[in-house]
Amino acid sequence: MVFSSLVFIFLFLTGTLLIYYLVPKKLKNTVILLSGLIFYTWGEPVYVVVMILSTLIDYFAGLIIWKFGENRHIRRTCLIVSIVMNLTLLGMFKYSGFVVENINTIAGQQVLNIKELYFLGIKVLPLNMLPIGISFFTFQSMSYTIDMYRGEIEVQKNPINFAAFVTLFSQLVAGPIVRYSDISKELNDRVINIDLVYEGIVRFITGLGKKVLIANSVGQVWDTVLAHVTAGTPVSAATAWIGIIGYTLQIYFDFSGYSDMAIGLGKMMGFTFPENFNYPYLSKSVAEFWRRWHITLGAWFRSYVYIPLGGNRKGLGRTVLNLAIVWLLTGIWHGANWTFIIWGVMYGVLIIIERLFFGKVLEKLPGWIGWLYTMFFVVIGWVLFASPNIGTAFTYMGNMFGASGVLADSETLYLMLNYGVVLILGIFASTDAWKIIVSHTEKRFPNFVHWAMPVCKLGVFALCVAYIADATYNPFLYFNF
């Protein structure tokens, strides 16, 4: 069940919030737990067992760490068991097929002749559908155990409250990655008022507009061009660039729109989730881009991988190694495909180069040069990220740089005539220009903005509903991770 569906908006969300607001405070977490299980089971009637198992592992791990607070050996053993079991779940369901396939490829023969593989009675291989959001909820749940071991949070003894933390449907399957410390106080006692609910509704509509009106539209540009490339049909350089610009906008508005909706839903229920995006396409270095893109994932790796490895405290050589490890893991986290691994390594190399010397060079250059450099590699990275395999990715890049021998063709004209307006709108909306315009207008005409904004939001919501009702194209990219 995706947020940008009529079933979610008018059936699930409306019904859940109605019950949530009516029940007494002590039952609200129970409503969160039950609604989260229903939400997940709607799309994953079998794999919900994986989420429940991950929740149980970390709940009991937290209790044991708290119970044996003075016994360092037991606490450390419990932490290791929790991490190993969570990563085993993630590895079995997300990477086992990839590992088997590559072992057989390297060996040149079928060394591992595994036709089917089951885990707790659930088929792992061949796996037709990855458990939705497994990378998100395992990282989120596991962070609780790690923070408990570090002594940074208080134990959650109430199993319903802890399960509500994991199954909170607003950020369950695609983030932001909310750590227990982010909402621990609100889990036990939170305030819900009309102002917070209104803020949540406005934020939800903003995200819905990003997803439905922009991401879904520009996404069709990428799908059209990629289909030609995967079919072996050369495309002109201009067509290839238009296609990947479409994907560059699609993934931003798709994922940031979902994050906006999740943050808005959290506010409606009394929670404040961390921000996940901050206009990443305005960045003037690759390092800055990753401080602005998927912020909660970067924070997770920084807190639980980079800093424990030593961060930048053990010399330049160790810093480079730590960055390399983090970015290799970042690529692997995104998917079981060599395209993701190369994508992660590419960013790791760029960030290491910036750390060594190029970052200082960029600071001295005009900002537009840094922006062009950053966006060039971001766009190249999205080709790797979005392609089904390495061969297709490099074929697509070849087309971008003239391998077809054609600069532009009739397909270029067709795409610009049909999608040019929404591409321009997407480019404009990916900057903070709209925010600046609204801010200046509000200073000069505060009453106008005060009354106009709700009307605009209602208009956006109406357009989204109309689009969803009539559309057949409504993917959500990060459900794959």
Q: What is the pLDDT of residues 214-243, one digit of tens each?
A: 999 898 999 999 999 999 889 999 999 999
Burial (0-12, 13-18, 19+ Cβ within 10 Å), 144: buried
Q: What is the pLDDT of residues 419-438, one digit of tens each?
A: 999 999 999 999 998 888 88
Domain ranges within the chain, ordered by starting residue:
6-190, 197-469
Which tops the pLDDT comparison, 130 or 157?
A: 157
Confidence of residue 34 (pLDDT cuts 50, 70, 90): very high
Confidence of residue 114 (pLDDT cuts 50, 70, 90): low
Residue 99 neighbours by CB distance under 10 Å? 12
Confidence of residue 170 (pLDDT cuts 50, 70, 90): confident
Nearest to 200 by CA among 133, 255, 273: 273
Question: What is the model's pLDDT at position 311?
Answer: 87
Residue 285 carries which side chain, given as an amino acid letter?
S
Residues serving a catalytic function are 334
Confidence of residue 366 (pLDDT cuts 50, 70, 90): very high
Residue 220 carries which side chain, given as an amino acid letter?
Q
Where is mean pLDDT largest: 135-144, 157-166, 356-365, 373-382?
373-382
Which tops the pLDDT comparison, 174 or 75?
A: 75
Confidence of residue 440 (pLDDT cuts 50, 70, 90): confident
Nearest to 162 by CA among 19, 26, 30, 24: 30
8-state DSSP, 24: -
Confidence of residue 393 (pLDDT cuts 50, 70, 90): very high
Which tops the pLDDT comparison, 127 or 252?
A: 252
Question: What is the model's pLDDT at position 5?
Answer: 87
Q: Is residue 117 helix, strand or coil?
A: strand
Question: What is the model's pLDDT at position 251?
Answer: 95
355-367 burial, b at 16+ Cβ within 10 Å, e below that, comes to: beebbeebeeeee
Contact yes or no for 209/434 (Cβ under 8 A): no
Question: What is the model's pLDDT at position 480?
Answer: 59
Contact yes or no for 35/29 (Cβ under 8 A): no
